[in-house]
Amino acid sequence: MDMNDVKTRGLVLLGCGKMGSAMLAGWLRGGLPPEAVWVIDPKPSDWLQAQGVNLNAGLPPSPAILLVAVKPQMMDDALGAAEIDARTLVVSVAAGTLLARFEATFGADTPVVRAMPNTPAAVGRGITALIGNAAANDDHLALAEALLSAVGQTVRLESESQMDAVTAVSGSGPAYVFHLIETLAAAGEAEGLSPELAMQLARATVGGAGQLAEDADETPGQLRINVTSPNGTTQAALEVLMDAESGFPALLRRAVHAAAERSRELGRG
C-alpha cells in the first residue's frame, strides 16, 4: 500500500476540526486529489466546504485509509459510519483511545496505527508519535508517517505504553509554552513594560529561542550556558528558575507526570 493506492481507493477522514483541517490542508498541498478524500464532519467549516472533497457523502466500501480525528466521546458514532475490511489501514489521532478499542470494532486483523500529533501541526511544525498494532507492518507505518509528515516531524514508539508520556510532553506541551509566554509577558509588565510591548517581547523571545534550539548543533543545555555570563542578569534569573525545589525542574516534572497520569486514566476508560 502506498500513496497511489490512497489516490485510487480513497481516504476517509472522520472529523475535520483544527487537527483534521491541518492534515487535510497538508495532503492537498502535497498533491492528494480532493476527489480521493471523503470527509465526515457534522459542522463543516467554510474552508472545508471550499476544498472540493466528498463532504458528508456516501463512503467508499474499502478505502485505503480511515483516519479518525474525532473526540473520544464521539468515537462510537463515528466508527459506526465506516465500512472497512482488513485491506484498510486505520489511523487514529484521537487522544486516549487505545489500539484495542479499534481492534474490538474492526477485528484484530485490521492494521491500526495510533498517532499523537500536536497543535503546531497547524503551521506545519508539529511532531507526531506513532505506534502500530500487531497487524500493522512497516509498509503501514511508512504510509502513516507519509500522511502525518504533511504537518511536521514523525517518530515511532517502541510500545503503546509510551504514548502517555508523549501526550504529556509533546501533545500537551504547547500549552505549557503558551503559558510561559503569558507569564513572561506578565512579569515584564510588573517591571514597567506596557502590556503590548511585554507580549511582543515574550512571543518573539520564546519563538526565536525554540527555533534556535531546534536548528543549532549545540544542546539546549549548552545554548543556555552560552547566554549565561558569570554573575550577570541571566545567571540571577536562572538561580531562581533552576532551584531544585521550586524551579522548573521540579515543577515540570510534576506537571508532566500529572498529564501522563491523566492520559493513563483516560485510556482505562
Residue ranges of the annotated binding site for NADP(+) are: 14-19, 69-72
Binding-site residues: 14-19, 69-72
Strands 11-14 and 65-68: parallel
* Residue for grid cell 485510556: 267
Tell me how far CA of residue 60 lies from CA of 14, 31, 198, 240, in angstroms: 13, 20, 52, 59
- Rounded to 5 degrees, φ, ψ at 78 are -65, -45
* Residue for grid cell 511532531: 127
List of residues 6+ apart from 147 with CB closer than 8 A = 23, 27, 65, 67, 91
User: Do residues 23 and 128 lie in contact, with contact meaning Cβ atoms separated by under 8 Å?
Assistant: no
